[in-house]
Amino acid sequence: MITDDDHDAALTDYLDTTHASVTARLTGEGHELLALVIGESDYAIAVAELGMEVDPPRPTRPAAGSLCLPTS
């Protein structure tokens, strides 16, 4: 049986390990989704489609200045 402690631990783990931009985007999309007046089955379809829309953050590349290495 899942308890509130399990839910809190899972949420904390997600927030600690997920890129902030993904969390912010999903939060915004969730608020927009909940503002719609649609049936429960339509919410399930919308959430599935949302999962296909959200891309992971792009990998970051080092700045050009950080590639300069001393030669001596």
What pLDDT, in 10s, does the model give residues 15-26?
Answer: 898 888 888 888
53: which residues sit within 8 A by CB, 6+ positions away?
29
- Is the pTM above the cut of 0.75? no
**Pair of tokens at residue 54:** 């959200």
**Pair of tokens at residue 34:** 């909940």
Give mean pLDDT, residues 39-61. 74
